[in-house]
Structure 1
């Protein structure tokens, strides 16, 4: 399970132990993942009351963005599978060095 999935599961259940059980990971591993994410973002994502948690204002904003990103990833995977299903194969031709360099300018 990736960090986004862990975060969204905790947000959904609002309970550390229940979320850990649903994800089939230990409670300390889940808490560590959330703590690492909060450290990375330098904001508290949850307000804690024992093992119960609620999204902070930062967590609410972040969850909206994470949910949107997860939807986009699912959509992208679905599109790639459709391309393969309908027989799309990448071109055998490679771009020249000049063409590749123009893509990134």
Structure 2
């Protein structure tokens, strides 16, 4: 009798968690880049490196939304209603993206 190889299953699960995190962060980075790089003449009181904060905080919020999606996908595989899991993931992602955008742009464009 042969033993199943559990190391392959573990790597498949960890890669399935990383993918939604990277996708969530990438979408958030594209969304905030639209606002940040669209500013032609920033106000002098914003500072020289004003765009660093939104370009870090918003993708982090998107990554957390992607992690929540991965968690809900795991819960759906364990018996939770898949439709509710996806809808809840979408709502949480957009709320997190909005909050990340507000936190990132606070004091500059969001005043």
Q: TM-score normalized by structure 2?
A: 0.30
Which structure shows the bigger proportion of residues in strand conformation? 1
Larger radius of gyration: 1
- Return the structure number with greater relative CO, CA threshold 8 A, min gap 6: 2
Q: TM-score normalized by structure 1?
A: 0.31
Which structure shows the bigger proportion of residues in helix conformation? 2
